[in-house]
Amino acid sequence: MAPKENKQPPSTVALIAIGCAIAAVSAVSSFVAIRFAMPRQIIVEKVEGEKEHVKEKKHEATVQYPIGEFIVNLSDPGGRRYLRTSITLEMEEKKKAGLETGVAYGWGSGAFGGGEGEKVASGGGEKKSGPPPYEPIYKDVIIGAISRRTASEISTVSGKERLKDELREMLNQRVPDEVVVAIYFTDFVIQ
């Protein structure tokens, strides 16, 4: 004779324990999903929104003007520190009477990297070899802004970015007919 198996229904305590375990696993997985998945989704949406905003502000045609090398005394105590930098301006390209501004200014010396009106293809826009419009004003603003800075202010990445932003704003205020889109330091040495 086979022994009788004791088949009793599961007790209510066991059912409650299993239910609590399932609820705990569900709560933990929900917390993990909200904690890690949701912020990423919000960040992705925010970044995509910023990209759309940047696309709206992007200028259609730009021209890069290398405006030369600057050696400027900084305002450090003792006056023994200086900055040697080369700057290129990226500007909106304007068409006037069928001619592009910045072309054929009569600068044949090669001081700006080539002959008269020579165009050189570039990744961020065309690169013009002639001087930018209002070049003396631009140089005056750049020298003035740099000479008010100390070496410690412009030695960090954020300091350089602040200087670029300030220069761009100042240049656009001084010559409202021309729009400086970006400023590039192609050489930057503090001594």
Buried b vs exposed e over 57-76: b needs ≥16 C-beta within 10 Å? eeeeebbbbbbbebebebee
In a domain, 97, yes or no: yes
How many domains would you assign to the chain?
2
The reply to whether 129 and 164 lie within a common domain is yes
14-54 pLDDT, tens digit each: 778 888 788 777 777 766 656 555 554 454 455 555 555 55
Percent of the chain with pLDDT over 90: 37
The reply to whether 182 and 94 lie within a common domain is yes
Burial group, residue 176, by CB count within 10 angstroms (0-12, 13-18, 19+): exposed
The reply to whether 68 and 40 lie within a common domain is no
pTM for this predicted structure: 0.55
